[in-house]
Amino acid sequence: MKIPLLIFTLLLPSNVYPWSTHSLITDISLSGIKGKLSSAKHRESYPPFEDNTINSNYAILYGHRSLSPDELLDNDLNEKRPGGVEVPNEFVSIFNLLAVYSSEPEWGMDKDVDTGFISGFMGGSQGMRHMYYPALSIHFPLILIPMGKAPERTEHYTNLAIRAFRKGNQYWGWRYAAWALHYLQDLGQPYHTRQTYYKFIVLSSPVKGTTRVTKNYHIGFERFTSFLLIKELNRQLPPTLLNSLLGCNSLKVEGSIEDFAKGLAKISNQMSGDAFTVSIDLFPDKMKEPRKAWVSKSEAEGIIQSENFENYLEVASKVLCTTGNITRKYVSWIQKQFEQIHGYMD
């Protein structure tokens, strides 16, 4: 029974949900270097290059707008496409541009594009593009062989960013960089770098049921962590996670961006066991049932008062330390590419 059960579990499609919310994480992570980012000249409203890798029905919002406080501190913790677009001025805040558009890959551009055999095991096109299971990790159907395109998508938009800079299109160079940043941030989240966990197995429904339970905990981890960040921003909790997001600087961008992304995924994958364990220990038992289940606000408040809450903070701090670090490292790296092309930051 054990071997067939393992096989059925490995057949599970993965699940993809935004690292809620990318705009929030980007805003906080870059707050310390905001003054160094200055502004970008806005010359063309339309993308300078045709990108046939995205959904052909996706309508790109042309222009730029500031992220409102309500959108940044979104209590629903959903990745929302900003409503309304302002016609950009001659200069656009790079900080604002990165914060707003680091969420854009969640707005539909990756849906229904990669529809091959492998995508069926990664939650479809969206999941395949926002996840990456490193080599030598256990996942199905390509056991021990890498699965997922998040590193590739990071490299793709980094290349477009540099091409746009060389063409003199500063606005779109930074907007492409914001898209690349999104995939990197996904790779800092353990639920995006490991397919499932043995404690999520539902014996009575090893495929569909286990998939549902994995989704429950995936969503729960991301939304509860964002819930805590918002409470810390509002000074309702000590700034434990904020300090982690802001104060870690250990990773280096070496080699290609794709290789850097793959290395990040390995680090994230190594944290997955702890992330899964604290999720199971602290989230309500309803999450273990093979049906949709969320952590309600009242339940979240109860978790904060529980004796094991410090364990969650410890694990989430490590994850956010990595996420904040790679956000700053990537933006600093792409800024150097920009300066090498233009010789200065406007």
> Tens digits of per-residue pLDDT, 140-168?
788 888 899 999 999 999 999 999 999 99
Confidence of residue 21 (pLDDT cuts 50, 70, 90): confident
Average pLDDT over residues 28-54: 85
More confident residue, 195 or 235: 235
pLDDT score, position 11: 39
Give the C-alpha separation, 135 to 133, whole Å.
Answer: 7
List the structure tokens of 4: 């067939």
Query: Of all residues in the chain, what percent carry a pLDDT higher than 70?
Result: 82
List the structure tokens of 319: 């994850």
Of 23-27, 61-65, 100-104, which gets the smallest average pLDDT?
Answer: 61-65
pLDDT score, position 273: 95
Backbone angles phi, psi at 91, to 5 degrees: -120, 140
Give the C-alpha separation, 270 to 206, whole Å.
Answer: 24
124 touches 115 (CB < 8 A): yes
CA distances from 155 to 38, 115, 170 (A): 24, 21, 18
pLDDT score, position 124: 80
Give the C-alpha separation, 171 to 161, whole Å.
Answer: 9
Ranges of each domain in the chain:
2-342
List the structure tokens of 126: 């969206």
pLDDT score, position 249: 66
pLDDT at 276 over 50: yes
Helix (H) or strand (E) holding 92: strand 91-93
pLDDT score, position 127: 84
Confidence of residue 7 (pLDDT cuts 50, 70, 90): very low
Query: Of all residues in the chain, what percent carry a pLDDT higher than 90?
Result: 52
Closest Cα partner for 227 from 152, 168, 313, 287? 313
Per the listing, tokens 């579990």 go with 9
User: What residue type is 183 in one-letter code?
Assistant: Y
DSSP 8-state class, residue 81: P
114 touches 149 (CB < 8 A): yes
Average pLDDT over residues 52-74: 68
pLDDT at 17 over 80: no
Confidence of residue 5 (pLDDT cuts 50, 70, 90): very low
Q: Give pLDDT tens digits for 107-144.
A: 899 999 987 888 777 778 888 899 999 988 878 788 88
pTM score over 0.85: yes
pLDDT score, position 3: 35
